Structure 1
Amino acid sequence: MDTFLLNTVILLALVVVLGFFNEKVTKFTHEIALMLFTVIVGGVLLVASAVLRGTGTASQVLEELQFFNLEGFLMEGVLCFMLFAGSCHMRLLDFKKYARAISLLAVGATFLGAVFYGLIFYGAGKLLGLSFTLPVCLMFGSIVAPTDPIAATSILKRFHLPDGISFIIEGESLLNDGMGVALFIFFSGMVTAEESGGFIAVMAKEILGAMFVGIVVTFLCFAIFSRTKDESRQIFTSLLAVSMSYVLCECFGFSGAIASVVCGVLFSALRNYSEYKGRPLDLRQFDIFWGILDTLLNSVLYVMLGISFIRILQMPHVLVLSLLAIAANLVARSGSLGAASIFIGPLPDGYNKPQFIKLLTWGGLRGGLSVALAMSAQGMVSDEIHLIILGGTYAIVFFTTIVQGMTMHRVYERIQSTVVKGE
């Protein structure tokens, strides 16, 4: 039997059954429920396999269960479509209004977050007697620094955040992926002792090149998109635009993630421009299609992340290092936001800077991109250190998604009450 089809059946079965159970019984946020329940399913399967076999190590059982290629699924499969779906309805007038805040957070806070995390983990590693070098720790910081646009847009929007703050959070999470990738390339070049071309050159190649490709491809495809009356062809054209941009960026060494976001933002801008010029497009099917596809791919991603949780069991000193990774992430996120907020200026919706920092620190969810970057670090460091990086990344992803995600509404209400009181 074809492995791809079998895997698809298993993934969809988990999405449907666990989603239905959550809808009728637990009523958690959809993405949180999928990850939480698949963690439980993965743990049960691991224990059951070990008991039934009676022999073999946990790592062998784990290897048999890890039939999903998460890195391939993300980086070579659906990441571009997820990013496009999240950005194709972006409000461009709001982006212009909050461009300063979003840019400082996406670039400045991401860079500082990676550096702060790297320094904290390096110092803690010395205290624990671990053989981490500073470049390795900085590379680790670049892996976990960017917040996840999928988690931010799908979980935080359910809490009915004020429009201005919500847009800043979504904009930061969409645009800091490219910064995270550029930092990863830069620091991983230091780890492997190769010439990375310098930070400015890497940033220019990763971001400016991706923006150029995204702009050119989008304008070419939108020429067809805006002139066809066939709603199916409009959808096919948008799929072509984002996938072609991603593939071209992969060929030229640019950031496919940034190109995907550029495509989505430009589609949103061009459709708004057409309406402004009195040439409105009938995009009901387009919106329905991308909404359903976004939900489906998000659901599959969270199921895969949940099943992959058992990889943490391979990490040496699993409990201590997981707690260390989580604590370092919160401190680094808070510190980087505090430094960046100095230059942001007045905040929308009556928020002051301490309230803003608290909200974005706890709302800084991590997801599939961090896991994919951690996986791609294999071969750059020893197997033991790679397992620590991978395990720490998984610990941060699950803590931010499940613990922070499930408590985000309570944290938001507390912060919002102080905003209303003007404290």
Structure 2
Amino acid sequence: MDYFIITSILVFISAFFGYINIRYIKLPNTIGLTVITIFFTLGIFALSYFDDTLLNAERYIITQIDFRSVLLNIMLSFLLFAGALHTDLQKLKELKWPILFFATFGVLVSTLLIGTAVYFLLQGIGLEVLFINCLLFGALISPTDPIAVLGILKKADVPKKLEIKIVGESLFNDGVGVVIFLTIFGLANGTGGDFSFTNVLTLFVHEVG
């Protein structure tokens, strides 16, 4: 199964879920799609107890995708372009310092807080997981999606300055998130020696640029 067929299937499912949300649920599109996807996934797992055909089909599709290449080299570029297309560049320049602060220090703090919370939560339910692996999860989900953010802010009718700060941060935090993720990933795999300050700085400039 090639990427064209997989993409067609995913686009069809996304459009179908979007129609259900607009027609019946009427939540902001990004939130509605997320909620429907969660319930759809839980439904497939429940159905698999009786017939696992659909679950096996999904597993097969997933195994055909090189997520590192698809997400970092293809999807991320389109997401960032679509978000930047609707951003006022002049306003972005005026608010560059708070945006830079949020996109760097904010992602670091978010990674630490989420990683710590997940660590204690898993410990509380009896799952022994290394703290650095929880930090890796925190780095994975800390960067926000510019399209999701922009869609919600447009509907919420927030002040323009606040919108530019949040959207600007969501545009630039992906590069920072990649650097943090790869750094923690290297440490978690015992290759932390390869991640000197110079290497991290070079990776940061390359990814953010």
Q: Normalising TM by the smaller chain, what interval?
A: 0.7 to 0.9
List aligned pairs for 1:92-103, cutoff 5 A.
92-103=89-100
1:159 aligns with 2:156: yes
Separation of aligned partners in 2, 1:134 and 1:24? 43
Check conservation: 1:186, 1:196, Cα contact below 8 A: no
Provide closer, same or farther for how the CA distance between residues 96 and 197 of structure 1 changes in structure 2, counting only shifts above 3 A.
Answer: same
Separation of aligned partners in 2, 1:7 and 1:188? 28
- Percent identical among aligned pairs is 26
Q: Which amino acid aligns with 2:195?
A: G
Separation of aligned partners in 1, 2:72 and 2:163? 27
Q: Which amino acid aligns with 1:84?
A: F
Residue matched to 1:36? 35
Query: 1:204 Cα deviation (Å)?
Result: 1.9
1:23 aligns with 2:22: yes
Separation of aligned partners in 1, 2:118 and 2:51? 39
Separation of aligned partners in 2, 1:21 and 1:149? 23
Separation of aligned partners in 1, 2:149 and 2:17? 21
Separation of aligned partners in 2, 1:175 and 1:202? 19
List aligned pairs for 1:258-277, cutoff 5 A.
258-259=208-209
Query: 1:32 Cα deviation (Å)?
Result: 2.5
For residues 224-256 of structure 1, the C-alpha deviation after alignment (integer angstroms, 9 at most, x for no partner) is xxxxxxxxxxxxxxxxxxxxxxxxxxxxxxx2x
List aligned pairs for 1:16-165, cutoff 5 A.
16-52=15-51, 62-66=55-59, 67-68=61-62, 69=65, 71=67, 72-165=69-162
Which of 1 and 2 has higher RCO (CA within 8 Å, sep 6+)? 1
List aligned pairs for 1:187-202, cutoff 5 A.
187-194=184-191, 195-198=193-196, 200-202=197-199
Provide closer, same or farther for how the CA distance between residues 26 and 115 of structure 1 changes in structure 2, counting only shifts above 3 A.
Answer: closer
* Superposition TM-score, scaled by structure 2 size: 0.80
Q: Which amino acid aligns with 2:50?
A: V
Structure 1 residues not aligned, in runs of 5+: 54-59, 211-254, 260-423
1:14 aligns with 2:7: no
Separation of aligned partners in 1, 2:128 and 2:45? 31
The SS at the match of 1:161 is: coil
Provide closer, same or farther for how the CA distance between residues 86 and 130 of structure 1 changes in structure 2, counting only shifts above 3 A.
Answer: same
Provide closer, same or farther for how the CA distance between residues 23 and 189 of structure 1 changes in structure 2, counting only shifts above 3 A.
Answer: closer
Separation of aligned partners in 2, 1:207 and 1:89? 25
